[in-house]
Amino acid sequence: MANVNVKKNIEKGGDIIVKLLSGNEAIARGAYEAGVKVACAYPGTPSTEILENIAVYDGINSEWSPNEKVAVEVAQGACFAGERALVAMKHVGVNVAADPLFSLAYTGVNGGFLVVSADDPGMHSSQNEQDNRYYAKFMKMPLLEPSDSQEAKDFVILGLELSEQFDLPVFLRITTRIAHSKSLVVLREPLNREKRIYAKNTKKYVVMPSNARKLRITLEERLQKLRIYLDTFPGNRAEGSGEDFAVITSGIAYQYAREALGERATYLKLGFTYPLPEKAIREFAALHDTLYVIEEGEPFLEEQIRAMGVNVVGKEFFPAIGELNSQMIKEKLLGEKSSSMITSHNLPARPPVLCPGCPHRGIFYVLNKVADYITTDIGCYTLGTLPPLNAGELCLCMGSSIGNAFGMSKVMPDRKIVATIGDSTFLHSGITALMDVVYNRGKIILVILDNSTTGMTGHQHNPSTGFTIKNEPTKKIDLEAMVRACGVEQVWQISAYDLKQVNETLRAAIACEETAVVIAKQPCVLINKRMARSYRIIHENCKYCRSCLDIGCPAIGNRDGEIFINEVLCNGCAVCTQLCMFSAIEEDRGYT
């Protein structure tokens, strides 16, 4: 949905601009208004659009980093030098970035520093649904949780101010629904902020043990000052006067609770959830006999409130798995059941598939014939594990395919083990794993599926594409040169659409007595949308052998015992023509 400009007159006179923004767009706007000068990220749903929207603002130096750890380290340098900095990542990206983030809490900041974690309850596009509020507590970082787009923008600004005031990095945690839902946001002009002076201070910025021991003490002192401030934080507020329920909640769960319980409840809405505002919670608890903690995910608030000695009702009513919604709250607290509510359980199954013309499809088709085991990685190609290709044994995290394949080869040295990884994922965290294989004299076959983009998150650039986040030309990482620099001598580059070449090259790679790498090159079919051709079935030649169905292309179907190609879906890769033994597939010359 396009942004909608709305103007509203306010009592003081003059107009303010209000826009309909997603949470991600609002965070980007907040970075602009707060005077952020450096913003870094690695794309990952549901956080990707934050940096894409920040990149629109010329005053912010924004970049796609090779991975989240690098993003944090670049932003740290900017913040130490005196400018405000922001990093954004999906929840699992914080795992990658954790090393520098933990130490940043010790050193503190100079310019403000904000890390945005976009969690994914329900695992819409993720391998787990970890609750990163625990990371904020573990890292000893102040934690803000917006409940709508307006707060998402405001909390960016406020978080950076608090970062500088208390000399702490600040953790802003959103979820998929906050990231992608839209609400009205009041726009302001950017702050007129002067860059802070940088002064060399090794006792603050060098975390060798002798310094870190002292910094550990000052960290607690800074957090204690922050706890005193919490009594005045505007994002924590009591509201409503309903007498049926007393609810403590935060983030998107606040919206669900309000929708479900309306005026029947009194709410303590928390925007600052670590450290918790103990005074406000105790005062609220003193007014009510029964307190309900309504939160999505783990019992993060519930555990801390119970530790304060305040008795609450929480996860015995509400699930820790998956997303929360207003209907669940109604069922648990009001006894209202809705038979009309649409859920994923009563919708027709719609499993994800590789796109028509996807260059990965032919690779997996051949790998099934020549490999014993296939490890895969995080990206579009993970879908190759699904029927009918069923190509893949393991997939755990970014870059894991190479290490997993190497580990399997140690236990099953007589097997043909192939690892598959995308170009962006290889640069993110596959290089070190490949070095490990070579250094420890391993033997695997690695196929780098180079589709010239970071595909699954929406076609973002990466260091191998030759363009920055602002589409400015830059130096392009040569994947073959990178692989050879890791010590691999047997390297091939092939066309992913040429099945004969794919078959011959993979067999040659498997026959090697050392680690071999095959770089399968073909741009993602969605980059150019479609080729200027499609294919059709010559029915008089078709023997209904169904070989063309084995690759699982959505454009090829079987209707009443007759194979057909949907010309609307066909992207003209011609892989199916190489599978047909009866010349029953030809280019549709009438297609335009």
Spell 126-135 as b/e; 16+ CB within 10 A means b: beebbbbbeb
Delimit the CATH 3.30.70.20 region(s) of the chain. Answer: 535-587
Tokens of 290: 């029964």
Write down the pLDDT at residue 456.
86
Neighbours of 569 (CB within 10 A): 16
Interval 249-268: pLDDT, tens? 999 999 999 999 999 999 99
How sure is the predictor about 592, in pLDDT bands with cuts at 50, 70 and 90? very low
The model's pLDDT over 534-545, given as tens digits with 9 standing for 90+, comes to 899 999 999 999
376: tokens are 């895969």
> Among 164, 150, 134, 125, which Cα is nearest to 19's?
150
Q: What gap in Å lies between CA 590 and CA 54, rounded to an integer? A: 44
SS3 annotation, 394-411 = ECCCCCHHHHHHHHHHHH
Q: Where in the chain are all domains bearing CATH 3.40.50.970?
A: 18-190+200-232, 360-521
Question: 3-state SS of the chain: helix, strand, coil percent to 5?
Answer: 40, 20, 40
Q: At what angle do helices 23-34 and 149-166 cross, to 10 degrees?
A: 40
Sign for the CA dihedral angle at 130, 131, 135, 138 comes to negative
- pLDDT at position 351 is 79
- DSSP assignment of 159-220, as one string? HHHHHHHHT--EEEEEEHHHHH-EEEEEE-PPP--PPPPP---HHHH---HHHHHHHHHHHH
pLDDT category at 64 given cuts 50, 70, 90 is very high
Instruction: Evaluate if residue 336 carries a pLDDT over 60.
Output: yes
Q: What is the pLDDT of residue 343?
A: 59
The DSSP code sequence of 359-387 is THHHHHHHHHHH-SEEE--SSGGGGGGST
**CATH code, 237-334:** 3.40.50.920
Interval 568-579: pLDDT, tens? 999 999 999 999
Q: Tokens 């769960």 sit at which residue? A: 253
Q: How many whole angstroms separate alpha carbon 294 and alpha carbon 315?
A: 8
The candidate with the shortest Cα–Cα distance to 524, out of 452, 462, 449, 583, is 452
Q: In CATH, what number does 360-521 get? A: 3.40.50.970
Asked if 62 contacts 469 with a C-beta cutoff of 8 angstroms, the reply is: yes
Phi, psi of 171 (to 5 degrees): -105, 120
Confidence at 3, pLDDT banded by 50, 70, 90: very low
Report strand pairing: 15-22 vs 5-9.
Answer: antiparallel
Has residue 11 got a pLDDT over 70?
Answer: no
Write the pLDDT tens digit of every residue in 446-486. Answer: 999 999 898 888 899 999 999 999 999 999 999 999 999 99
Taking only the tens place, the pLDDT of each residue in 363-395 is 999 999 999 999 999 999 999 999 999 999 999
CB 420 within 8 A of CB 373: no
Model confidence at 342: pLDDT above 70 = no
Beta-bridged to residue 493, according to DSSP, are: 519
pLDDT at 122 over 60: yes
Q: What is the pLDDT averaged over residues 165-171?
A: 98
Domain 18-190+200-232 in CATH 3.30.590.10:
no
pLDDT confidence tier of residue 338, bands split at 50, 70 and 90: confident
Nearest partner of 564 among 588, 538, 591, 529, judged by Cα: 538
Label residue 68 left, alpha or beta by phi (over 0 means left) and psi (-120 to 50 means alpha): alpha
Q: What is the pTM of this model?
A: 0.92
For residue 26, the one-letter residue type is: A
Per-residue pLDDT tens digits for 283-305: 999 999 999 999 999 999 999 99
What is d(CA 379, CA 86) in angstroms, rounded to the nearest whole number?
25
Judged against a pLDDT cut of 90, whether residue 590 lies above it is answered with no
Residue intervals in the chain for CATH 3.40.50.920 = 237-334
Q: What is the pLDDT of residue 346?
A: 67
User: 309 by DSSP, 3-state: which?
Assistant: coil
| Mean pLDDT across the chain | 93
What pLDDT band is residue 198 in, cutting at 50, 70 and 90?
A: very high
CATH 3.30.70.20 fits 535-587, yes or no: yes
User: How far is C-alpha 288 from the chain's CA centre?
Assistant: 40
